[in-house]
């Protein structure tokens, strides 16, 4: 009996019949790795179970391996490829753009590559931002800088018909989108409209989420840099706290719905005493509330460090009711809220404290990618190009179990990834911070 849970089949525009211009080892003996076939698949889950005395994979689901195909769909001389970056900025965007351009140019010989400015807004009919012609010279050293040379924006992604009109008008037949869940949903809808019109335009996503909250991906690009950039803030908060009488260092990091950055930063810099994430709701007051625990820590040790993810404790304030241009709900600033709460609590308790609040969010987002992410982005970008050239569409590039794979966008956005508070990551965080498992009364 098959034990499949997911649909990991990739859509294509049609049969790939053109021989790839990429030469592999068996053609010229240059020692390069071989082509990857659509039949090369890896297991999604590495978990096993025992059946009739034999160890077997727990799930039968397999994913298509990423990489260059021997036969491609597009004739490189007919390709007009476009790249856009949407949503918030994240370390590594420029690295992905660079890798995409270089792979199209050097490996496939594609000469028409355009950058779309400000995400999907740049594809709207009345866009005032022209396409930016891209080639290896233009992207030569962009990886040195944070952000994206194309600019990024929210909004516009739901005007699907207008976007597809623009793709048709500009003769774009490959669209590479680099963005988060919203961008991917937009890319999927664009792909659906393309299908409805019977067009042959490939849409391939490179998933970007600094929060690392996308499912079916080991870890998203920029995440490692984000954690590395958050560490100095925690270090600073700890030094400040330790050097003051009853010092409290409070740091806020990104993580709207998932607390991965906070959890990993706590492990990277073991100075954190309280790591607060959206997945683990807590009380402020009462004998098991946060304030009481911080007081105990202050009385025992004379200082405390609190690391809070932006999405934690949102229930403490009424919803803002505001949304951004993409429809995302605007959050309360939990950092400022906690700072005020701690201040008034310790004042009422008659305990003098000194609270230092650090919010490094924009510094983290805008940092250039570190070496780990640079390598990762270089490979993601190239794999996105291989998928598109082979005519794969409405898919994204991911790394699962340390292997690069292609995934249907529809499946990837079907659920978010959260820190499992009963899982090993959170257990390790709790062992490090020594905070209670629950701060609910």
Contact 103, 381 (CB under 8 A): yes
The answer on whether 256 is annotated among ligand-binding residues is yes
Judged by beta carbon, residue 147 or residue 182, the one nearer ligand ATP is 182
Q: How far apart are CA 332 and CA 318, in angstroms?
A: 9
The answer on whether 255 is annotated among ligand-binding residues is yes
Taking alpha carbons only, the member of 362, 330, 360 closest to residue 147 is 362
Within 182-211, which residues bind Mg ion (CB under 5 A)?
A: 182
Q: How far apart are CA 16 and CA 388, in angstroms?
A: 11
Q: How far apart are CA 376 and CA 397, in angstroms?
A: 11
Interface segment toward Mg ion; rule CB under 5 A; list 54-62, 111-119, 133-141, 173-181:
173-181
Judged by beta carbon, residue 73 or residue 120, the one nearer ligand ATP is 120
Interface segment toward ligand ATP; rule CB under 6 A; list 95-103, 174-182, 298-306, 387-395:
174-182
In the complex, the smallest distance separating the C-beta of residue 113 from ligand ATP, rounded to whole angstroms, is: 21
Number of residues that bind Mg ion (CB under 5 A): 3
Sign of the Cα pseudo-torsion (166, 170, 174, 180, in order):
negative
Candidate residues 117, 143, 166, 183; the one interacting with ligand ATP per rule CB under 6 A: 183
In the complex, the smallest distance separating the C-beta of residue 52 from ligand ATP, rounded to whole angstroms, is: 45
Q: How far apart are CA 171 and CA 222, in angstroms?
A: 32
Binding mask 109-128 for ligand ATP (x = CB under 6 A): ----------xx--------
Q: Is residue 394 involved in binding ligand ATP (CB under 6 A)?
A: no
The answer on whether 182 is annotated among ligand-binding residues is yes
Binding mask 216-255 for ligand ATP (x = CB under 6 A): ----------------------------------------
Judged by beta carbon, residue 209 or residue 233, the one nearer ligand ATP is 209
Q: Which residue number has the CB closest to Mg ion?
A: 180
Candidate residues 87, 278, 311, 360; the one interacting with ligand ATP per rule CB under 6 A: 87
Q: Tokens for 207?
A: 């998933």
Q: Tokens for 154?
A: 């929210």
The answer on whether 209 is annotated among ligand-binding residues is yes
In the complex, the smallest distance separating the C-beta of residue 318 from ligand ATP, rounded to whole angstroms, is: 23
Q: How far apart are CA 345 and CA 162, in angstroms?
A: 54
Contact 168, 190 (CB under 8 A): no
Task: Please list, residue by residue across 95-109, b when 16 or more beta carbons sit within 10 angstroms of its beta carbon and e when fewer do.
Answer: bbbbbbbbbbbebbe
Q: Is residue 92 involved in binding ligand ATP (CB under 6 A)?
A: no
| Catalytic choice (211, 213, 271, 373) | 211
The answer on whether 365 is annotated among ligand-binding residues is yes
In the complex, the smallest distance separating the C-beta of residue 401 from ligand ATP, rounded to whole angstroms, is: 24
Contact 36, 69 (CB under 8 A): yes
Q: How far apart are CA 385 and CA 391, in angstroms?
A: 10
Q: How far apart are CA 18 and CA 413, in angstroms?
A: 32
Bridge partners for 290 per DSSP: none
285 has catalytic annotation:
no
Helix (H) or strand (E) holding 234: helix 223-242
The answer on whether 364 is annotated among ligand-binding residues is yes
Q: Is residue 180 involved in binding Mg ion (CB under 5 A)?
A: yes
Within 262-301, which residues bind ligand ATP (CB under 6 A)?
A: none
Contact 66, 404 (CB under 8 A): yes
Q: Tell me the backbone φ, ψ of residue 324, rounded to 5 degrees.
A: -90, -175
Q: Is 269 helix (H, G, I), strand (E, B) or coil?
A: coil
Candidate residues 21, 57, 155, 289; the one interacting with ligand ATP per rule CB under 6 A: 155
In the complex, the smallest distance separating the C-beta of residue 128 from ligand ATP, rounded to whole angstroms, is: 16
Q: Is residue 181 involved in binding Mg ion (CB under 5 A)?
A: yes
In the complex, the smallest distance separating the C-beta of residue 432 from ligand ATP, rounded to whole angstroms, is: 27
CA 30 to chain centre: 35
Within 291-330, which residues bind Mg ion (CB under 5 A)?
A: none
Q: How far apart are CA 264 and CA 251, in angstroms?
A: 14
Within 189-218, which residues bind ligand ATP (CB under 6 A)?
A: 189, 209
Bridge partners for 56 per DSSP: 49
| Residue 189 interacting partner from ligand ATP, Mg ion, none (CB closer than 5 to 8 Å by kind) | ligand ATP
Interface segment toward Mg ion; rule CB under 5 A; list 11-19, 137-145, 180-188, 402-410:
180-188
Taking alpha carbons only, the member of 247, 227, 255 closest to residue 314 is 255
DSSP letter for each residue of 383-402? HHHHHHHTTEESEEEEEETT
Q: For the chain, how big is the Rg over CA atoms in Å? A: 24
Q: Is residue 181 involved in binding ligand ATP (CB under 6 A)?
A: yes
Sequence ranges of the binding site for ATP: 88, 154-155, 180-183
Q: Which residues are catalytic, by number?
A: 211
Residues tagged in the binding site annotation for substrate: 209-211, 254-256, 310, 362-365
Chain contacts with ligand ATP (rule: CB under 6 A):
86-88, 119-120, 154-158, 179-183, 185-186, 189, 209, 326-328
């Amino acid at each position: 009996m098959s034990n499949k849970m997911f649909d990991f089949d990739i859509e294509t525009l049609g049969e790939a019949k053109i021989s790839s211009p990429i030469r592999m080892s068996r053609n010229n003996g240059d020692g390069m790795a071989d082509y990857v076939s659509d039949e090369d698949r890896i297991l999604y889950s590495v978990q096993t179970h025992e059946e009739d005395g034999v160890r077997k994979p727990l799930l039968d689901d397999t994913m298509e391996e990423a990489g260059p195909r021997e036969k491609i769909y597009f004739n490189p001389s007919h390709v007009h490829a476009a790249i856009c970056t949407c949503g918030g900025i994240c370390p590594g965007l420029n690295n992905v753009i660079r890798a995409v351009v270089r792979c199209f140019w050097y490996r496939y010989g594609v000469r028409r590559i355009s950058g779309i400015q400000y995400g999907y807004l740049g594809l709207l009919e009345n866009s005032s931002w022209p396409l930016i012609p891209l080639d290896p010279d233009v992207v030569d050293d962009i990886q040195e800088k944070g952000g994206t040379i194309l600019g990024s924006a929210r909004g516009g992604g739901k005007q699907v018909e207008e976007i597809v009109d623009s793709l048709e008008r500009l003769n774009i037949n490959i669209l590479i989108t680099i963005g988060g869940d919203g961008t991917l949903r937009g890319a999927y809808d664009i792909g659906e409209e393309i299908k409805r019109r019977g067009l042959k335009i490939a849409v391939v996503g490179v998933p970007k989420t600094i929060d690392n909250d996308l499912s079916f991906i080991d870890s998203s690009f920029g995440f490692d840099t984000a954690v590395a950039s958050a560490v100095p803030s925690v270090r600073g908060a700890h030094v400040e706290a330790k050097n003051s009488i009853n010092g409290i260092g409070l740091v806020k990091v990104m993580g709207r719905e998932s607390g991965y950055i906070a959890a990993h930063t706590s492990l990277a810099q073991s100075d954190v005493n309280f790591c607060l994430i959206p997945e683990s709701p807590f009380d402020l007051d009462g004998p098991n509330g946060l304030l009481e625990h911080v007081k105990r820590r202050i009385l025992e040790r004379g200082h405390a460090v609190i690391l809070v993810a932006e999405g934690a404790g949102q229930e403490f304030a009424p919803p803002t009711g505001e949304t951004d241009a993409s429809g995302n709900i605007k959050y309360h600033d939990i950092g400022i809220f906690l700072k005020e709460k701690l201040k008034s609590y310790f004042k009422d308790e008659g305990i003098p404290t000194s609270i230092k609040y650090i919010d490094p969010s924009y510094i983290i987002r805008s940092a250039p990618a570190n070496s780990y992410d640079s390598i990762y982005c270089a490979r993601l970008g190239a794999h996105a190009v291989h998928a598109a050239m082979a005519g794969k569409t409405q898919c994204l590039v991911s790394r699962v179990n340390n292997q690069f794979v292609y995934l249907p966008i529809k499946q990837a956005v079907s659920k978010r990834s959260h820190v499992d508070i009963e899982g090993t990551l959170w257990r390790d965080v709790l062992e490090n911070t020594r905070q209670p498992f629950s701060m609910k009364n």
